Amino acid sequence: MSTEPAPSLFDAGWYRHARRRESPHFDARPPGSQVELVVLHGISLPAGVFGTEHVDALFMGRLDTGVHREFAALEGLRVSAHFVVRRDGALWQYVSCDQRAWHAGVSRFGARQRCNDFSVGIELEGCDDVAYERAQYESLGALLGALLQAYPIRAIAGHSDIAPGRKTDPGPHFDWSFVRRASALPRAALPPFA
């Protein structure tokens, strides 16, 4: 029986089981900040359309805003997330977990503002009107387990929880009971309805 520790699933904040895409939209976390929160989002471009490369293009700073009328409002937007879970469960990573991705915007968790400073953002390809896929939950569960082992995460919230009135994702079809089971965090560490 080996006494060597298991190899880390992260290398400089990059998850070994994700396709690595390096977004230019990130910066350093403030000194002394650590990852204590996971924020779950839902995203599709255009809204309700899945399987396009538009989300990837947005996070990579290459979205052609002229290809769809909905995209005009995204002109010049600099946004990213740490991870995207596609409908088939494929996992892509855009920013190292050790860096600050720009996913939460104006936000508050408890008494703390600026959630980007102390969170990891996970985007699930989806929208408020459609249930997420089983493959997405399987990938999300594995990722949450790895994050909880590697970082001092104390809570998981939806974008709607940290930006109420401004955001609605991951939406009413998101299965919070899955997150409760997969994370094994205390009930108080999840949204009240989870």
Give catalytic residue positions.
123
d(CA 155, CA 42): 18
Q: Are 140 and 85 in contact (CB under 8 A)?
A: yes
Give the residue from 74, 54, 12, 37 showing the smallest Cα distance to 154: 37
Between the two ends of the chain, the Cα-to-Cα distance in Å is: 40
Structure tokens at 3: 């006494």
Neighbour tally for 3: CB within 10 Å: 4
Give the position of tokens 């409908």.
87
- Provide the β-strand partners of residue 85: 91, 124
d(CA 114, CA 108): 6
- As a dihedral over the C-alpha atoms of residue 47, residue 137, residue 84, residue 41, rounded to 10 degrees, the angle is 60
